[in-house]
Chain A
Amino acid sequence: MTTARDERARRAADAVARQSYGKLVAYLAARTRDVAAAEDALSEAFAAALAEWPLKGCPSNPEAWLLTVARRRMIDGARHLRVREDAADDVRLIAQSLDEADDVAIPDQRLALMFACAHPAIDAAIRAPLMLQTVLGLDAKAIASAFLTSPDAMGKRLVRAKQKIREAGIPFRIPEREELPGRLDAVLDAIYAAFAEGWTDPAGTDAARRDLAEESLFLARLAVELMPAEPEVLGLLALVLYAESRRRARRDAAGEFVPLDAQDPKLWDAAMIEEAETLLRHASTFGRIGRHQLEAALQSAHVARRRSGRADWIAVVELYDGLLALTRSPVVAINRALAIAEVQGAHAALAALPDASEDERLGRYQPYWAARADLLARTGAHADACEAYELAIGLERDEAIRRFLQRRRALLDA
């Protein structure tokens, strides 16, 4: 009996945590900018909920219940914490928010929180982990395992970032029109970085990383919900959906890596692709193209193979032209060259491939050498291709991808 009630309380708390965690943190920290104090108060409120709800039943408005408890904790905490000189200010600010927000809907300030997390004054590498923690409530341990760092190091970096927000006075604010594009890019980059981190475990064997893909999908959906009229936000969600739709197809039954062109389209998630296509069409109606929409459009041209049996390579090349003009990214240049191979042949593609001697980062970039090897092999320059494969194999950390490259290289000897 008690266990059933415990279980109900836990489920209710979990459901509120998922939907409301970021909303509550954003609301509690918006004025004081003290994210850590808001998180502490909230975790105490959740603990209180798990103790109280099984006995008294779930409150009719669990979100408001948690907020009230957390705010009391914050006020108590600020009163007791006399070492911090501005504590008195914090008490005043929280008390003010108490008066204003009683029993009315809690305003959703998660977007302002996202902009604070991706503020230019915050180290770019910690923006994605910070967002995952403050908006979704992921703990440092889970984030650390997904980002391949120690929980200790990740915890310290998160603490430092939150300190920076409070001490430097980084505002919880949605930027004005004129500064929005750059600031929005930083938010979208952080969401994409969280997704890409989960994506690097193609086998989906690492639970922390698989969850990260889901969490970042949630973040991307949230961003769309909060900014429905920003085409780049729609583009990002579409991009994430296209990539996620192919997760099952990226490995065969034996766990071996399957490149995009060899994947079975029947294994792609049709519902996700449909949603992505709808989003992308809607984004295009705003008439403001950007990097994420272009990248999503590329994915769309690739998945055209579902119906026609062949990717729309001419569209792919055109889209890469646009993307290259926009980003000047050598990574884009490599992918563009591979697409040119499909339309104009391997010789034209090799000519379009950037030169590693002009950019030393390329020399250490596995996909560059893999692309070069593939194109050289197609022109019949087997010895050069072998050499490029060796370099690519030496640079790859993922075992399954390394085996894939080794198989490709072995084909040249045959």
Chain B
Amino acid sequence: MQYLLLLYANEGGWDQMTKAQQEQGMAAYMAYTQALRKEGALVGSNRLQPVSAATTVRVADGKSQVLDGPYAESKEQLGGYYLIEAPDLDAALAWAARCPGASHGIVEVRPVWPTPTA
């Protein structure tokens, strides 16, 4: 099964970190990504730019409405994701717990609908 790990954290936290702390954080993510890759569990992953760069689009009555900002304002923001392959929820939860994001934010684990085979 595929699971999407959604990494939520307070974006402001990053800027408050010292340069050394930021480097340490990057290294932790790189090591984690490497571990996923080594076990063949990594399908895809990306870090997102802050919500200040977000734009929302909605089409109503054939007209598209474009708005500045994220869909929902919240204390924690979606900051990145990992798409992983895992045999079951327990394996996915174990990967989520190892993710650096779980220690400074929240990781939401969502199963992905299987792709139609026929």
- Using CB atoms and an 8 Å cutoff, list the residues of chain A in contact with chain B: 85-86, 88-89, 119, 121, 167-171, 173
- Contact between B88 and A85, CB atoms less than 8 A apart: no
Bound CA–CA A119/B92 (angstroms): 14
- Contact between A86 and B114, CB atoms less than 8 A apart: yes
Task: Report if B59 contacts A (CB, 8 A).
Answer: no
Which residues of A have CB within 8 Å of B90?
170-171, 173
Of the residues B92, B111, B115, contact of A167 by C-beta under 8 Å = B111
Which residues of A have CB within 8 Å of B87?
169, 171
A interface majority secondary structure = loop
Count B-side interface residues using an 8 Å CB cutoff. 17
Which residues of A have CB within 8 Å of B111?
167-169
Contacts of B70-100 to chain A: CB distance below 8 A: 86-90, 92-93
- Contact between A88 and B89, CB atoms less than 8 A apart: no
How many residue pairs at the A-B interface have CB separations less than 8 Å?
36
- Contact between B89 and A170, CB atoms less than 8 A apart: yes
Task: Report if B118 contacts A (CB, 8 A).
Answer: yes
- Contact between A121 and B88, CB atoms less than 8 A apart: no
A313, chain B: closest CB distance, angstroms: 45
Which residues of B have CB within 8 Å of A168?
89, 109, 111
Task: Report if B62 contacts A (CB, 8 A).
Answer: no
Bound CA–CA A169/B113 (angstroms): 11
Bound CA–CA A169/B93 (angstroms): 11
- Contact between A88 and B88, CB atoms less than 8 A apart: no
- Contact between A173 and B118, CB atoms less than 8 A apart: no
Task: Report if B65 contacts A (CB, 8 A).
Answer: no
Of the residues B1, B86, B109, B115, contact of A85 by C-beta under 8 Å = B115
Which residues of B have CB within 8 Å of A170?
88-90
| 19 A-B pairs in the complex with CB atoms less than 8 angstroms apart | A85-B113, A85-B114, A85-B117, A85-B118, A86-B117, A88-B118, A89-B114, A167-B111, A168-B89, A168-B111, A169-B86, A169-B87, A169-B88, A169-B92, A169-B111, A170-B89, A171-B88, A171-B90, A173-B88
- Using CB atoms and an 8 Å cutoff, list the residues of chain B in contact with chain A: 1, 3, 86-90, 92-93, 109, 111, 113-118
Known A167-B111, A168-B111, A169-B111; contact A85-B116, beta-carbon cutoff 8 A: yes
Which residues of A have CB within 8 Å of B117?
85-86, 88-89
Bound CA–CA A41/B60 (angstroms): 45
Which residues of B have CB within 8 Å of A169?
1, 3, 86-89, 92, 111
Which residues of A have CB within 8 Å of B1?
169
Which residues of A have CB within 8 Å of B113?
85
Which residues of B have CB within 8 Å of A167?
111
Bound CA–CA A201/B86 (angstroms): 45
Across the A-B interface, the 9 shortest Cβ-Cβ residue pairs: A171-B88, A85-B116, A169-B89, A169-B88, A86-B114, A169-B1, A168-B89, A170-B89, A168-B111
- Given A85-B118, A89-B114, A121-B89: 17 more A-B contacts, CB < 8 Å: A85-B113, A85-B116, A86-B117, A88-B117, A88-B118, A89-B117, A121-B93, A167-B111, A168-B89, A168-B111, A169-B3, A169-B86, A169-B87, A170-B88, A170-B90, A173-B88, A173-B90
B6, chain A: closest CB distance, angstroms: 14
Which residues of B have CB within 8 Å of A171?
87-90
Bound CA–CA A167/B89 (angstroms): 9
Bound CA–CA A173/B89 (angstroms): 11
Which residues of B have CB within 8 Å of A173?
88, 90
Q: Which residue of B lies closest to A170 (CB)?
A: B89
Bound CA–CA A167/B116 (angstroms): 15
B113, chain A: closest CB distance, angstroms: 7
Which residues of A have CB within 8 Å of B114?
85-86, 89
